[in-house]
Amino acid sequence: MDIKQSLIMTNPWWKKEKINSQFLLSRKRYEFEDILAKIEDKRILSIIGPRRVGKSTLIYQTINYLLEENKVDEKRILLFSGDDPSLFFNKDDKLSDVLEVYFNEILEEDITKLSSKVYIFIDEIHFIKNWQNYLKICYDRKYNIKFIVTGSSSLHLFKDANESLLGRIENIYVLPLTFNQFMNFYMTYISKSEDIIIPKLDLNDIEKSFKELEKYYYDQELKMKIQKILKKYILVGGYPEYFEIKDIDVWQKQLSEDIITRGIYKDILTIYNIKTPEILEKLMYFIAANNSQTFAYSNIATNFGIDTVTIMTYLGYLKQAFLINILENYSSNIAKVIRTNKKISILDNGIQNSLLKQKEIDDNLAGHIVESMVDFDFRLLCEKENYKQYYYRNTDKEEIDIILDKNVSIVPIEIKYTNQIEARDLKTINNFIETHKDNSINKVEYGIIITKDIYKKEGNLYFIPYWLLNL
């Protein structure tokens, strides 16, 4: 099949055909609005996230919007994949070859003299050799093209590309669904009813946000409905394909095989020449069994019988592929941050449960799982807002689960997924607030306690049930 015929098959709208409804779905992720807000910007738009989170669906939904709402001419929208063997069979096949055919034989316009904007969507762009160099040329020459590209991790999009695309590319991170997103997917596909709208927690105006949550907390019918959905989310996690499968045995098998095994052996190995890739998979099982615990890299290396540098590198790959989260210990001393143990967790709780084959979640296990879920919620916030996320452990081995560095202030966050919290349980976080309240650089004004179902304010602490948390 030649390039032209392949592109015609991939872009059915050129023949006035509707996009297959199976590609569109009836539910849109929140990130869809972020894409629309940036669709007319000059900069290249990258949609980054692990496999199977819905990046391709977002592309089709965006194309459908351009066609149906913006009335863009069909032939001014191009979609193809860097993983398409009919376009990129040999290593020497180039991005410029595909676009030359498009502009000369389909659009029939000179790329330097486009009559109006062209929208080019490239899925899995990391499989294309030297893609960043071609996009840089198009951007710098101010061609009237909006590039929207996807990659399975920040490893793919920014290996050898940071320098060349600096200031020319903007990222939207698409990760597994947060509980709030999962809840409204559930309302669409399971309950067949309207969305549940919980206001976002504004960390820059915590007092106002906290008061807004009060009426939701005391709505008993709403609480029961949300807590039922939360129980399901704690078990299955945030990958949207669950709503097509629903059976827990089939779902956990798919998570472990498709997202873990193929994600590791296809996504990470396409970028890095790893001699022992099976260690990456074993690391995932190790972290799942010791989720949200603190480790020294050297201790993990000893367990696996390999050197510390290799373990550090492999864990970095897993983090950049959005499979795990790694938190440094918070300290104003950078050298101390580097030396101290790291807190490591599986990014998606559904993956953790599938690796450990956990199909029933008791209260004790739920508490551990919610801790990693809160880690994920705040990592996503950090990706969006350019914040930093740490944990805290002092010389007396007193710990705080999350330290959120908002660049201008610090927010300590403790996860106490229970309805019985004693004063002694809050000693460390209260001491941390007292110690940092007058710090001009890293000032702390309040702390947050994530609970099971306690909602109150006590001094500088805001107690918020996890089921009400929407960041």
Q: Give 410's strand partners.
A: 405, 444
Looking at the chain, the whole-number percentage of residues with pLDDT higher than 70 is: 94
How high does pLDDT run on average in the chain? 89
In 3D, which of 104, 79, 82 has the Cα closest to residue 93? 82
Q: Which tops the pLDDT comparison, 401 or 24?
A: 401
Give residue-wise pLDDT tens across range 270-323: 667 777 778 888 999 999 999 888 989 999 999 999 999 999 989 988 888 888
Give me the pLDDT at residue 62, please. Answer: 97
Is there a contact between 59 and 148 (Cβ–Cβ < 8 Å)?
Answer: yes
Give residue-wise pLDDT tens across range 9-22: 999 999 999 998 88
Q: Residue 412: pLDDT above 90?
A: yes
In 3D, which of 32, 86, 30 has the Cα closest to residue 59? 32
All structural domains of the chain = 3-173 (3.40.50.300), 180-468 (no CATH)
Q: Which helix (H) or strand (E) holds 411?
A: strand 410-416
Looking at the chain, the whole-number percentage of residues with pLDDT higher than 90 is: 64
Tokens linked to 113: 């003299």
Widest Cα–Cα separation across the chain? 73
| CA dihedral sign, ordered 221, 227, 232, 238 | positive
Q: Residue 154: pLDDT above 70?
A: no
Q: Which helix (H) or strand (E) holds 227?
A: helix 220-236
103 pLDDT tier (thresholds 50, 70, 90): very high
Q: What average pLDDT does the segment 140-168 reach? A: 77
Q: Give 147's strand partners.
A: 120
Query: Degrees (nearest 5) of the Cα angle 445, 470, 154?
Result: 95
Q: Residue 337: pLDDT above 60?
A: no
Give me the pLDDT at residue 230, please. Answer: 97
DSSP count for the chain of H helices, then E strands: 21, 14
Tokens linked to 199: 């206001």
Q: Residue 269: pLDDT above 80?
A: no
Q: Residue 159: pLDDT above 80?
A: no
CA separation (Å) from 75 to 5, 138, 397? 14, 19, 62
Q: Residue 335: pLDDT above 60?
A: no
402 pLDDT tier (thresholds 50, 70, 90): very high
Q: Which helix (H) or strand (E) holds 248?
A: helix 248-254
Other beta carbons within 10 angstroms of residue 87's beta carbon come to 22
Give residue-wise pLDDT tens across range 61-84: 999 999 999 999 999 999 999 888
Amino acid identity for residue 180 in this structure:
N
